[in-house]
Structure 1
Amino acid sequence: MKERRHAREKAFQGLYQIDINKDVTLENLYEAIDEDVDEYAKKIIKGVVEHRVEIDQAIDDKLEKWSFSRIATVEKTVLRIAVYELMFEDEVPNKVAVNEAVELAKRFNEDQSGKFINGVLSKFMKE
């Protein structure tokens, strides 16, 4: 499990870079990812990039009194990873995807961020 958590952290870092630095390519990111977690991190990055429009729309559909464009980059990146896992990774239990997203948000931002992530992702669990 720690390998997957580490892979999610690497994927977060890579996807965050893509969001803030438009010159970053997937190849640059893949080269920077550790060998021991590269496959799952690459799978997440590739999946989020390929399905970004669909993922962003799914997130936007769940927001109440908030718009997707107002979400900070950290939270947006965490949500994209979690929603990718919820929508496209059958081997990851939904509760695990949500819990890991909350922990990721807390690690890279603050507790309030984790609460926001949990609130948004809980709406995906009701489907």
Structure 2
Amino acid sequence: MSTRRDNRVAAMQFLYQWSLNSADDLGAELILFFKEMPKPRDYYGFAEELIHGAITHLDEIDTIIKSYLRNWDFDRIARIDLAILRLAIYEMLKRRDIPPVVSINEAIDLSKDYSIPDAKRFINGILDQYKLTLDRPLRSAARD
């Protein structure tokens, strides 16, 4: 598995955990979380960036997710699928150095490994709709 994939998995796992039991002290939670990881904390620098970004922009990200739900209640989204969606939408929304199609493909791969078989269609449906609103190239990093 690549370093970036390892980091996305770690970020997704933390966001999943955070969705079940968010604490007041993100820094302390991250210290505890990374102590349990198989590699040293500095290996997970990209994961920390993703975690901080997703949590910082959580309200905006959740508003985006809610806007694409059809006949589905936000509170019924499986927490693992929500973590994957939050991670991918954060990347697409704020990480212009990551091509949106990469974020979508990574999210679908995460759903294949960590969720139920139908989750990939649900996640892909939301992310595919959201990508149409982006003002940047879909297959390459944006140049700002």
Return 60-69 or 20-29, whichever deviates more. 20-29
In 1: Cα distance, 2:82 partner to 2:117 partner:
15
In 2: Cα distance, 1:108 partner to 1:84 partner:
19
Percent identity (aligned): 34
In 2: Cα distance, 1:57 partner to 1:26 partner:
25
Matched ranges for 1:34-53 at <5 A? 34-35=39-40, 37-53=43-59
**Aligned-partner residue type, residue 19 of structure 1:** S
- Tell whether 2:70 aligns with 1:64: yes
Deviating above 6 A after TM superposition, structure 1's stretches of 4 or more consecutive aligned residues are none
Give how far 1:20 is off.
Answer: 1.6
In 2: Cα distance, 1:26 partner to 1:48 partner:
14
SS of 2:118 mapped into structure 1: helix
Deviations 1:58-107 (A, max 9, x none): 11111111121111101100000000000010111000000000110111
What corresponds to 2:33 in structure 1? 29
What corresponds to 2:130 in structure 1? 124
Matched ranges for 1:1-127 at <5 A? 2-23=2-23, 25-33=29-37, 34-35=39-40, 37-127=43-133
RMSD: 1.8
Return 71-80 or 35-44, whichever deviates more. 35-44
Residue segments in structure 2 that go unaligned for 5+ positions in a row:
134-144
Give how far 1:30 is off.
Answer: 4.1
In 2: Cα distance, 1:37 partner to 1:111 partner:
30
Return 90-99 or 105-114, whichever deviates more. 105-114
In 1: Cα distance, 2:74 partner to 2:85 partner:
11
SS of 1:111 mapped into structure 2: coil
In 1: Cα distance, 2:49 partner to 2:117 partner:
27
Higher helix share: 1
Residue segments in structure 1 that go unaligned for 5+ positions in a row:
none
What corresponds to 2:139 in structure 1? none
SS of 1:22 mapped into structure 2: coil
